[in-house]
Amino acid sequence: MERFNDFYEAVSDTGKYIRNLKNSGKKILGYVCSYTPEEIILAAGIHPVRLFGTEGNIALADAHLQSYTCSLARGVLEGALSGELDYLDGMIFPHTCDTIQRLSDIWRLNTDFGFFSDVVLPVKLDTESAREYMEDVLRKFRSDLEEGMGVTITDGALEKSIEKYNRIRGCLKTIYELRSADPGILTGADVYAIVKGSMIMDRDYLLERLPEVIEMLRDRKPSTDMGKKRIALTGSICNQPDIYTIIEKSGGVVVWDDLCTGSRYFEGLTDTNGDPVAAIANRYIERQICPAKHMSNTSRGDCIVEMVRKNNVQGVIFLLLKFCDPHDFDYPYIKGFLDREDIPSMLLEIEDQLPSEGQLMTRFETFIHML
């Protein structure tokens, strides 16, 4: 879509976008998880970029990761080894799943991008000692970053950065809400480009640009009801913009999601009163969790049911990367929660590549037809 060309370009040629940014004097740090304390990175004057894995074939990574590793981990490592990610000045690995845990070791032993940090966050988030530990780890990251990148991060800078992220996240959420209220106002591919672009593009630019997008959407005439079925996606990442288009062609429309490259990225604002690091920790604890973390035994299931209700979702599509343990373990129980509420769902397991469009259309059409 022309209206969102800037987002589309940053997403389709991230390397080019980031290299331009780098040429303007910015340092670049990569990351792979929605629990990365981007606020601290930005406060250091560094540009954080989320990595989604290579677009190309995987060859070099196969010498380090077995074939039963998810395509995200293999793709990210491929990018590092092939030179595709040469623009990075460093990499940050928050602790997530067993795969990322080992990817971090392999990265540390086989690449040399300068800065490197494991942010070993707690796995359970429901106790006071875990909250304290979360805070301690974030403080340690802050000082490691200061030392490793030769910068100082003042509380003032951190507060400013938090405020920026609150605005960016607030905007993304508003865009989601506008779409949920009237799914015809922009396509799924547009939303995908905007959210993904927001993890790639210059944050100051986004602060100007996202409010414009919102204004533009608000000015749009309500779309006439297209009779499309309201769908929500759940899973880890969606790196496949085509999915949205195929769902739309099949008679559905994505109105919300529970993806780490979607709502899990922007849900929850950071408190701007009090200690900034404690506030970042608190947001992680209050936010909708990812399945690699523990809150209560049913918190994800409850959240997903609530998301469905709030957005009048008619059907849920589980979008799971093959070999992703945390999501695979949660699937049967979350499906069970949805079944109990009479909410139909379908599972799409994604390997390196999507199935052919025809095959996907048939599966989506069958599903959507039954809603």
Query: What binding mask, one character per residue, do residues 167-186 give for other proteins by CB under 8 A, x or -?
Result: --------------------
Instruction: Considering the complex, state which of residue 73 and residue 189 has its C-beta at the smaller distance from ligand SF4.
Output: 73
Interacting partner of 236 out of other proteins, ligand SF4, none (Cβ under 5 to 8 A depending on kind): ligand SF4
| 105 touching other proteins, by CB under 8 A | yes
Task: Output the smallest distance, CB 343 to ligand SF4, in A.
Answer: 23
Neighbours of 323 (CB within 10 A): 18
Least distance (Å) between residue 289 CB and ligand SF4: 12
Q: How far apart are CA 282 and CA 273, in angstroms?
A: 12
Count of C-beta atoms within a 10 Å radius of residue 205 = 13
Query: Which phi and psi angles does 121 have, rounded to 5°?
Result: -70, 160
**For 124, which DSSP code?**
B
Binding mask 269-308 for ligand SF4 (x = CB under 6 A): -----------------------x----------------
Instruction: Decide if residue 321 touches ligand SF4 (CB under 6 A).
Output: yes
Residue 250 within binding range of ligand SF4, rule CB under 6 A: no
Q: Which stretch binds ligand SF4 (CB under 6 A): 80-88, 139-147, 245-253, 317-325?
A: 317-325
CA dist 220 and 341 (Å) reads 34
User: Identity (one letter) of the amino acid at 280?
Assistant: I
| E strand intervals along 187-327 | 229-235, 252-258, 315-321
Q: Which of 335, 348, 350, 360 binds other proteins (CB under 8 A)?
A: 335
* Three-state DSSP class for residue 370: coil
The region, left, alpha or beta by phi > 0 then psi within -120 to 50, assigned to residue 146 is: alpha
Q: Give the residue among 10, 31, 38 at the shortest CA–CA distance from 76.
A: 31
Stretch that binds ligand SF4, among 53-61, 86-94, 96-104, 105-113 (CB under 6 A): 96-104
Binding partner of residue 72 among ligand SF4, other proteins, none, CB cut-off 5 to 8 Å per kind: ligand SF4
348 binds ligand SF4 (CB under 6 A): no
Phi, psi of 296, deg, nearest 5: -100, 175
Which residues in the 133-162 window bind other proteins by CB under 8 A? 133, 136-137, 140
- As given in the structure block, the two tokens for residue 82 are 């092939």
Residues that bind ligand SF4 (CB under 6 A): 70, 72-73, 96-97, 99-100, 236, 292, 321, 324-327
